[in-house]
C-alpha cells in the first residue's frame, strides 16, 4: 500500500489536516483512526462552546466533528477506522485491523494527529485504597454521553479544568449530587463561563488550594478526604474534610500521546510533552508533520483546526516539492512563558507565523515581548493572561530576517 | 439591590456589580459585558445539552441541545422532558426532537447523525 | 467427596493444586474472593530470589533455592512471563561490604549457584546508571523476575484442565472432622467434604488453622507499598537491585518487571489488622527517600500506579509446612518472602507429605503439563498476520498502551477459570496495565465481558465483590 499522505488520527486535527492537504491538490490521502468512527474526543463532548472561530457559530462537540467529517466524506480521502498503528519506521507505517490484518503502509508524507490522554491517579500519586468508582473525567464522559450509563450518585471532582467543570454540570443534570470540585492551585484552570454555568448554577462548591489526600472504600468508593494545601502545595494538617461519595472524577491534566513519535525517534519538547515542530508543523524528521493535541494541549478546538490546516497545507507543499529550507530561528521561553509552539521558525518565505503559548500562572497587564538578545522585535499588550487559556501572537518572518541568534518570548509588566 | 456576578462573555472575567433597581452595571470593560450583566441578573438563560434515549442505533443515546437559550430556572424541568423522550435511529444532525420546549419557543434538536446499528 | 481440599488460591495453594492434579486424586481449591491470586500474591515484588538470604538449614533456604531452579521450566510450560535477569545486592560502605561477604557465605552454604562478590567497577559495568556512591555488590545470576498473578492463574487453569476443581467466593467459616472426613463449612453454599485439607490461606492461615487445631502460630500482616513506573523507565536498569540490609532496615528494591515496567518499593509497616489500608503519602515518601541511595534520579512523574500488599509474617522464624496435630490437616503457612520463589518446591513436598500420611496418589498418565497463551504484542508481523486471518478479533486492539487485542481478552474470559471482572481480565492479559490505566480500554473490556458472560453492562464489576462500576442507565 502506498499513499502520498497518511494522517494518523481521525479527530479534529487529523480531519482538518487531511482535508487541507486534499484541497491543496494531494489526492491519495489516508486517515487511520483507532476508534470505530471519526471525530475523536469531540464525539463525547456534547456540550456547546465549540466553533466560534472556525464556523462563526456556537456548536456542540459532535456538531463540530460532523462538519469536519462530512468534508472528508465528500472528498476522495480514504479512511480506515478500527485500525491501530503499531509503529512508524522511516516512512513505513505498521498498522493492524480485523479486516486488512497486518499492514505495512508506505507514505510519502505523514501527519501525526494522535491527540492526548488523561493523567491518571498514578501520575499524581493519590494515596489510599483502590476501590471502583474512580474515573478520569473523560472516561466518565464517554460512559455517560455515548454509552448511556451513569457512573455514580454522589460525586467529588478533583481538578477544576474545563473538563472537570463540564462533567460537574453533566453529572448534576443527570441526577447525581456533585458535592465538591477540588483544585490544588489557588485559581481555577477553567474558563470563568464554566465556573458560572457549571458550578454556580448548580450550587457546587469549588475548593481552591485543596487536594484529595485519602481514598477509602474496599469494593466501591465510600469517601474521600480533602485537605487544604500550603503555598508549596503540601497538605496542611488539621484541615481534613471528609466527603462521603461513591465517585471521584479526576480532571488533572492531559498529556500529548507520543508513544509512536518516541519510537519513531522524533524529537520531543519536555515543556509540552509534545513534538518539536517548525512553523510548517514539520517535526525533526523531514516529511513528518504534526498538529493538534499531540503537539500541545489546546484550549479550543478552533485553534486545533487552524494548526491542522497549517500542517496539511505544508505537507502538500512538501509533497509538491516546493518547500525550501533556510535559516532557522529557535523560539526560547522566558519569564512567565511555559511553552511556545512552534519551537522553530524557518525563514525561507515571507509569511506570517502564529505562535501559540501558555503562561505559568495568572498575569494581569503584561506585555508579551519578543526579543533577540536585547533587541525588541515585537511586543503585544495583554490585559489578562490565564494558564488555562492559550495565548497567541503573530510574527512575520521579515521581522526575524535581520536578527542574529534565537528569539526569546517573555512577559514584562506593561506600563 | 446590588448583585455581584462574574462576566462570562470573554476570558477576562470582569467582576460586575449590577444594580437591579436602576438597571445599571459597573465593573465591566466593554459594552457586551454591560448587556450580559443586566440579562444575567434579570432573565438568565442557558442552552441545555444532554442525551435522549435512542433505539436501534449504534449507540443507545443521542446527543441533543436546545437550539437556543431557555430561562435558567427551567434547566431541570427541561431535563425531565428530555429524560422522557425516546427516538429511533436513523437520526440526522439538526433533526427536531421536540418542538417548542416548555413553551419557550426553542426546539430540542439532535446534535449528530446516527446510523441504524 | 474430595481427596484433598486446599483452602486459598494464592501462589501456594495454586502450586499445590496443580501439583496434585498430576495424580489420580480428586482435588478442589477454594478461595473466599471472586478470583485466584487476590491476596498477597497480587501485590508483591514479583521476584524469584536466588536464595542467599534465608539462614542455612531453614525451610526457607531449602525451598527457595530448590524452587528458584524450577521456575524456568514451569513458566515455559505454562506460558507465563519469566526472566532470569540476575540480582545485585548493593553495598554503600565498609559495613555493607562486610555484610555482603556474610550473605555470600550464607548463599554458598545454601548452595546458590554462581554467586559472586563484585567490586565497584564491576557493578557499574553491569548497571551504569547506579548511584556513584556504590562500593560493591553481591551478584546472584539465578535471581529472576516473574508475573506472580499470571503464574497463579495459569497454575489454577492448568489444574482445572487436568481435572481439578476451582471454587471462588467460597469462604471457609468452620471445619469439622467426622471420622477421617473433614467437613468445610462455607459462608455460602453446600459444605465441602474431603479426606485431607491443605491450609494455604495466606494472611488468614492462622484463622483457618484454629478452626480445627489448637492455636500454634499467629499471622501478622506487614504492609508493603510500591511505585509502578511507565515502560519508558523500565530500561534504566537490567538487574533486580537490592540494598544491603543494615540497622536502618532492609532498604527498598528497584527492579524491571517482566513486562518492562520499573517497580520501586516496598515500604515496610507492621499492621494490627489484616485489612489493607492502601498506600499512604508517608509510605510513598519513604520509598522515594530510600530508593535515592540506589538510583539518584528516578522520574516519579512517570509513575503509572501505586499499590500496596500485605505480607503474611508468622510469629515463627520459618515457613510452616507440616501436618498438624489433627491428622490429615496440613499447614502451608507463614509464607513471607521468599514464599513466591519457594512455591513450586513447597508444592512438591506438600504432595510428598500427603502421600506419606496415606494419600493414595497414582500418577495421571494423561497429565497435560502445557498451556499456551497468545500475547499479540510479542508476535512477529508474520505471526500477527496469520493470527488475524484465522480470527479477525486479534486485529482489533482494545488496549492501546499494552497492545492487547479483543481476541486475547475473549480468550482470557473463555479459558478454564476464566476472568469474570475487568481487573480479572487485566491480570490475565494486561489491558489497563499501561500508562492510561484503563481510561480508554476499561469500558470496552467491560463491554466484552458483558457480551461473553451474557450479563448486562451494569453487572460487570471492576474487581472484588462490591466494586461495581456503573450505577445504571442514564435514560
- Our CA-based measurement puts residue C413 at a distance from the nearest CA of chain A, in whole angstroms, of 20
CB contact under 8 A, A220 and C303: no
Taking the Cβ of residue A246 and every Cβ of chain C, the question of whether any pair is shorter than 8 Å is answered with: yes
Residue B33 in domain: yes
- At B1 the pLDDT is 86
Within-domain flag for B99: yes
Q: What is the pLDDT of residues C217-275, one digit of tens each?
A: 999 999 999 999 999 899 999 999 999 998 777 889 999 999 999 999 999 888 888 87
Q: Where residue A125 falls among pLDDT bands split at 50, 70, 90?
A: confident
Interface of A with B (CB under 8 A): 36, 43, 46-48, 58-60, 62-63, 65-66, 144-148, 173-174, 191-193, 195-197, 201, 383-384, 386, 389
What is the ipTM metric for this complex? 0.93
CB contact under 8 A, A98 and C388: yes
Cα-based distances in Å from A212 to A225, A239, A267, C106: 6, 12, 35, 47
Residue B56 sits in the same domain as residue B104: yes
Q: Mean pLDDT, chain C, as a whole number?
A: 96
Chain C nearest-CA residue for B62 = C475
**Residue B69 located in a structural domain:** yes
pLDDT at C389 over 90: yes
* Residues of C with catalytic roles: 49
Tens digits of per-residue pLDDT, A247-299? Answer: 999 999 999 999 999 999 999 999 999 999 999 999 999 999 999 999 999 99
Residues of C in Cβ contact (< 8 Å) with A128: 278-280
**C-alpha grid cell, residue C77:** 510450560
Digitized pLDDT (tens) for each residue of chain B, 117 residues in all: 888 998 888 767 788 999 988 889 999 988 988 999 999 999 999 999 999 999 999 999 999 999 999 999 999 999 999 999 999 999 999 999 999 999 999 999 999 999 998
Domain C84-143+220-310 is of which CATH architecture? 2-Layer Sandwich (3.30)
Across residues A330-359, what is the average pLDDT? 93
Chains that touch B (3 or more CB pairs under 8 A): A, C
- As a whole number, mean pLDDT of residues C127-133 equals 95
pLDDT level of residue A359 (50, 70, 90 thresholds): very high
Contact of B61 with chain C, judged by CB distance below 8 Å, is answered with yes
Residues B34 and B71 in one domain: no
Does B55 share its domain with B103?
yes
Q: Clarify whether residues B106 and B57 are in a common domain.
A: yes
pLDDT at residue C3, rounded to an integer: 98
Note whether B20 and B65 are same-domain residues: no
> Which among A63, A144, A173 has the least Cβ separation from residue B112?
A63
Number of Cβ pairs < 8 A linking chain B and chain C = 10
Chain B residues within 8 A (CB-CB) of chain A? Answer: 5-8, 11-13, 29, 46-51, 53, 58-61, 63, 65, 72, 75-76, 79, 93, 111-113
Q: How far C329 CA lies from chain A's nearest CA (Å)?
A: 32
Q: Where are the alpha helices (DSSP H) in A24-150?
A: 61-73, 121-124, 137-142
Query: What integer is the mean pLDDT of A200-228?
Result: 96
User: CA of C93, closest CA in chain A: separation in Å?
Assistant: 32
Phi, psi of A341 (to 5 degrees): -135, 130
B117 in any annotated domain: no
- Min distance C468 CA to chain B CA atoms (Å): 21
The answer to whether residues C92 and C76 touch, using CB atoms and an 8 Å cutoff, is no
Q: Could you list the residue range(s) of the whole structural domain that residue B29 is in?
A: 2-43
The backbone torsions φ and ψ at residue B56, rounded to the nearest 5 degrees and listed phi first, read 75, 15
pLDDT interval class at A401 (50, 70, 90): confident
Neighbours of C, requiring at least 3 CB pairs below 8 Å, are A, B
| Chain C, nearest residue to B54 by Cα | C475
Closest-CA residue of chain A to B8? A193
Chains in contact with A, where contact means 3 or more Cβ–Cβ distances below 8 Å, are B, C
C-alpha cell at C280: 499512604
Whether residue B28 lies inside any domain: the answer is yes
Judged against a pLDDT cut of 80, whether residue A141 lies above it is answered with: yes
Q: What is the pLDDT of residue A404?
A: 85
The set of cell numbers assigned to B109 is 434538536
Domain boundaries, chain C: 1-83+144-218+315-372, 84-143+220-310, 376-459
- Mean pLDDT score across all residues of chain A: 94
A vs B, Cβ pairs < 8 A, gives 74
Clarify whether residues B56 and B37 are in a common domain: no
Contact: C280, A130; criterion CB under 8 Å:
no
Give the integer Cα–Cα distance in Å for A270 and A254.
14
Do residue B54 and residue B90 come from a single domain?
yes
Shortest Cα distance, chain B CAs vs residue C396, angstroms: 18
- Whether the per-residue pLDDT at A325 is higher than 80: the answer is no
Per-residue pLDDT at A414: 87
Give A-chain residues touching B59 at CB under 8 angstroms. 146-148
As a whole number of Å, the CA-based R_g of chain B is 18
Is position B11 within any domain? yes
Q: How far is CA C339 from the centre of its chain?
A: 9
CATH number at residue B102: 3.10.530.10
A41 reaches C (C-beta below 8 A): no
Tell me what pLDDT residue A323 has. Answer: 66
Task: Flag whether residue B51 sits within 8 Å of chain C, measured between CB atoms.
Answer: yes
Q: Which CATH architecture has domain C376-459?
A: Orthogonal Bundle (1.10)
Q: How far apart are CA C202 and CA C11, in angstroms?
A: 9
In this complex, do B111 and A62 lie within 8 Å of one another by their Cβ atoms?
yes
Given an 8 Å threshold on Cβ–Cβ distance, is C466 in contact with A218? yes
Question: Considering CB atoms only, which of C303, C442, C458 is closest to A122?
Answer: C303
Q: Indicate the pLDDT class of residue A324, thresholds 50, 70 and 90.
A: low
CB contact under 8 A, B83 and C473: no
Give residue-wise pLDDT tens across range A290-320.
999 999 999 999 999 999 999 999 999 999 9
| Radius of gyration in angstroms for the set of CA atoms belonging to chain C, rounded to a whole number | 22
Buried-exposed string C426-464: b where 16+ CB fall within 10 A, e elsewhere:
bbbbbbbbbbbbbbbbbbbbbebbeebeeeebbebbbbb
pLDDT higher than 80, residue C277: no
Q: Is C214 helix (H, G, I), strand (E, B) or coil?
A: coil
Q: Rg for chain A (alpha carbons), in Å?
A: 22
> Would an 8 Å CB–CB cutoff place A174 in contact with chain C?
yes
Q: Are residues B55 and B95 in the same domain?
A: yes
C-alpha cell at C401: 498502551
Within a domain: B105 = yes
| Cross-chain residue pair B111–A197, CB shorter than 8 Å | no
Strand partners of residue C421: none
Q: Into which CATH architecture does domain C1-83+144-218+315-372 fall?
A: 3-Layer(bba) Sandwich (3.50)
Q: Is C129 exposed, middle or buried (0-12, 13-18, 19+ CB in 10 A)?
A: middle
Contacts of B51 in chain A (CB under 8 A): 46, 144-145, 148
Angle, to 10 degrees, between the axis of helix A162-173 and the axis of helix B75-84?
70
| Percentage, residues of chain C above pLDDT 70 | 100
Q: Distance between CA C140 and CA C160 in Å, rounded?
A: 35
**Residue B116: inside a domain:** no
Long-range Cβ pairs for the range C160-164 (8 Å, 24+): C160/C416, C160/C417, C161/C368, C161/C371, C161/C416, C162/C18, C162/C21, C162/C22, C162/C364, C162/C367, C162/C368, C163/C21, C163/C364, C164/C17, C164/C18, C164/C20, C164/C21, C164/C27, C164/C28, C164/C29
pLDDT at A187 over 80: yes
Please give the tally of structural domains in chain B: 2
Amino acid at each position: 500500500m502506498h499513499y502520498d499522505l497518511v494522517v494518523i488520527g481521525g479527530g479534529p486535527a487529523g480531519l482538518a489536516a487531511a482535508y487541507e492537504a486534499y484541497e491543496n491538490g494531494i489526492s491519495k490521502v489516508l486517515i487511520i483512526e483507532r476508534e470505530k468512527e471519526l471525530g475523536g474526543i469531540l464525539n463525547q463532548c456534547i456540550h456547546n462552546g465549540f466553533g466560534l472561530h472556525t464556523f462563526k457559530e456556537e456548536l456542540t462537540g459532535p456538531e463540530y466533528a460532523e462538519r469536519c467529517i462530512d468534508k472528508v466524506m465528500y472528498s476522495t480521502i480514504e479512511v480506515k477506522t478500527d485500525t491501530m498503528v503499531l509503529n512508524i519506521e522511516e516512512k513505513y507505517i505498521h498498522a493492524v485491523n480485523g479486516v486488512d490484518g497486518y499492514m505495512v503502509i508506505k507514505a510519502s508524507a505523514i501527519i501525526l494527529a494522535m491527540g492526548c490522554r488523561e493523567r491518571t491517579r498514578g501520575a499524581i500519586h493519590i494515596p489510599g485504597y483502590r476501590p471502583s468508582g474512580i474515573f478520569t473525567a473523560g472516561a466518565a464522559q464517554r460512559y455517560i454521553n455515548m454509552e448511556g450509563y451513569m457512573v455514580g450518585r454522589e460525586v467529588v471532582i478533583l481538578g477544576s479544568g474545563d473538563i472537570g467543570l463540564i462533567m460537574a454540570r453533566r453529572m448534576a443534570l443527570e441526577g447525581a449530587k456533585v458535592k465538591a470540585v477540588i483544585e490544588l492551585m489557588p485559581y481555577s484552570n477553567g474558563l470563568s463561563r464554566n465556573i458560572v454555568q457549571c458550578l454556580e448554577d448548580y450550587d457546587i462548591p469549588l475548593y481552591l488550594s485543596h487536594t484529595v489526600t485519602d481514598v477509602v472504600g474496599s469494593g466501591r468508593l465510600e469517601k474521600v478526604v480533602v485537605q487544604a494545601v500550603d503555598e508549596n502545595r503540601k497538605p496542611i494538617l488539621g484541615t481534613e474534610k471528609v466527603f462521603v461519595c461513591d465517585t471521584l472524577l479526576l480532571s488533572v491534566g492531559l498529556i500529548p500521546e507520543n508513544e509512536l513519535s518516541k519510537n519513531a525517534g522524533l524529537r520531543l519538547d519536555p515543556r509540552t510533552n509534545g513534538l518539536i515542530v517548525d512553523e510548517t508543523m514539520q517535526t525533526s524528521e523531514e516529511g513528518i508533520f504534526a498538529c493538534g493535541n499531540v503537539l500541545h494541549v489546546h484550549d479550543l478546538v478552533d485553534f486545533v483546526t487552524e494548526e491542522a490546516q497549517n500542517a496539511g497545507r505544508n505537507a502538500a507543499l512538501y509533497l509538491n516539492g516546493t518547500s525550501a529550507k533556510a535559516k532557522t530561528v529557535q523560539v526560547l521561553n522566558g519569564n512567565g512563558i511555559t511553552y511556545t509552539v512552534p519551537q522553530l521558525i524557518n525563514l525561507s518565505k515571507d509569511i506570517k507565523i502564529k505562535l501559540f503559548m501558555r503562561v505559568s500562572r495568572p498575569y494581569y497587564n503584561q506585555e508579551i515581548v519578543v526579543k533577540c538578545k536585547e533587541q525588541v522585535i515585537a511586543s503585544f499588550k495583554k490585559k489578562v493572561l490565564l494558564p488555562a487559556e492559550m495565548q497567541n501572537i503573530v510574527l512575520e518572518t521579515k521581522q526575524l530576517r535581520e536578527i542574529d541568534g534565537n528569539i526569546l518570548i517573555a512577559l514584562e509588566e506593561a506600563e | 439591590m446590588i448583585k455581584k456576578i462574574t462576566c462570562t462573555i470573554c476570558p477576562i472575567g470582569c467582576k460586575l456589580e449590577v444594580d437591579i433597581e436602576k438597571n445599571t452595571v459597573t465593573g465591566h470593560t466593554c459594552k457586551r459585558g454591560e448587556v450580559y450583566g443586566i440579562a444575567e441578573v434579570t432573565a438568565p438563560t442557558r442552552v441545555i445539552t444532554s442525551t435522549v434515549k435512542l433505539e436501534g442505533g449504534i449507540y443507545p443515546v443521542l446527543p441533543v441541545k436546545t437550539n437556543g437559550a431557555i430561562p435558567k430556572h427551567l434547566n431541570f424541568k427541561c431535563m425531565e422532558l428530555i429524560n422522557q423522550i425516546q427516538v429511533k435511529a436513523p437520526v440526522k444532525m439538526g433533526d427536531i426532537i421536540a418542538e417548542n420546549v416548555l413553551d419557550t419557543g426553542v426546539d430540542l434538536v439532535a446534535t449528530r447523525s446516527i446510523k441504524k446499528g | 467427596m474430595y481427596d484433598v481440599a486446599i483452602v486459598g488460591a494464592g501462589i501456594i495453594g495454586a502450586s499445590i493444586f496443580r501439583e496434585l492434579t498430576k495424580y489420580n486424586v480428586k482435588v478442589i481449591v477454594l478461595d473466599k474472593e471472586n478470583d485466584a491470586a487476590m491476596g498477597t500474591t497480587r501485590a508483591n515484588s514479583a521476584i524469584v530470589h536466588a536464595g542467599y538470604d534465608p539462614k542455612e538449614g531453614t525451610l526457607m533456604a531449602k525451598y527457595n533455592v530448590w524452587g528458584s531452579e524450577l521456575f524456568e521450566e514451569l513458566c515455559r510450560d505454562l506460558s507465563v512471563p519469566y526472566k532470569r535477569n540476575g540480582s545485585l545486592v548493593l553495598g554503600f560502605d565498609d559495613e555493607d561490604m562486610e555484610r555482603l561477604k556474610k550473605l555470600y557465605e550464607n548463599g554458598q552454604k545454601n548452595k546458590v549457584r554462581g554467586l559472586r562478590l563484585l567490586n565497584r567497577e564491576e557493578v557499574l559495568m553491569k548497571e551504569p546508571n547506579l548511584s556513584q556512591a556504590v562500593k560493591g555488590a553481591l551478584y546472584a545470576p539465578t535471581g529472576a523476575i516473574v508475573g506472580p498473578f499470571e503464574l497463579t492463574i495459569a497454575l489454577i487453569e492448568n489444574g482445572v484442565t487436568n481435572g481439578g476443581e476451582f471454587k471462588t467466593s467460597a469462604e471457609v467459616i468452620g471445619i469439622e472432622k467426622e471420622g477421617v472426613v473433614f467437613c468445610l463449612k462455607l459462608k455460602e453454599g453446600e459444605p465441602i467434604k474431603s479426606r485431607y485439607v491443605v491450609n494455604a490461606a495466606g494472611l488468614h492461615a492462622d484463622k483457618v488453622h484454629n478452626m480445627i487445631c489448637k492455636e500454634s502460630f499467629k499471622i501478622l500482616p506487614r504492609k508493603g507499598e510500591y511505585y509502578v513506573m511507565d515502560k519508558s523507565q523500565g530500561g534504566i536498569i537490567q538487574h533486580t537491585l537490592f540494598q544491603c540490609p543494615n540497622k536502618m532496615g532492609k532498604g527498598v528494591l528497584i527492579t524491571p518487571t517482566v513486562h518492562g515496567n520499573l517497580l520501586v518499593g516496598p515500604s515496610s509497616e507492621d499492621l494490627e489488622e489484616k485489612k489493607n489500608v492502601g498506600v499512604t503519602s508517608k509510605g510513598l515518601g519513604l520509598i522515594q527517600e530510600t530508593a535515592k541511595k540506589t538510583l539518584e534520579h528516578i522520574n516519579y512523574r512517570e509513575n503509572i500506579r501505586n499499590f500496596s500488599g500485605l505480607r503474611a509474617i508468622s510469629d515463627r522464624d520459618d515457613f510452616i509446612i507440616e501436618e498438624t496435630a489433627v491428622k490429615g490437616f496440613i499447614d502451608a503457612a507463614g509464607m513471607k518472602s521468599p514464599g513466591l520463589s519457594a512455591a513450586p518446591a513447597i508444592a512438591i513436598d506438600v504432595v510428598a507429605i500427603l502421600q506419606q500420611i496415606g494419600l493414595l496418589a497414582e500418577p495421571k498418565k494423561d497429565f497435560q503439563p502445557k498451556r499456551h497463551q497468545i500475547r499479540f504484542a510479542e508476535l512477529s508481523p508474520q505471526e500477527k498476520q496469520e493470527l488475524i486471518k484465522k480470527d479477525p478479533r486479534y486485529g482489533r486492539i482494545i488496549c492501546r498502551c499494552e497492545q492487547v487485542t479483543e481476541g486475547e481478552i475473549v480468550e482470557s474470559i473463555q479459558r478454564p477459570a476464566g476472568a469474570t471482572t475487568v481487573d480479572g481480565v487485566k491480570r490475565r492479559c494486561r489491558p489497563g496495565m499501561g500508562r492510561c490505566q484503563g481510561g480508554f480500554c476499561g469500558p470496552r473490556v467491560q463491554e466484552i465481558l458483558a457480551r461473553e458472560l451474557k450479563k448486562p453492562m451494569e453487572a460487570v464489576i471492576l474487581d472484588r465483590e462490591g466494586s461495581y462500576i456503573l450505577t445504571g442507565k442514564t435514560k
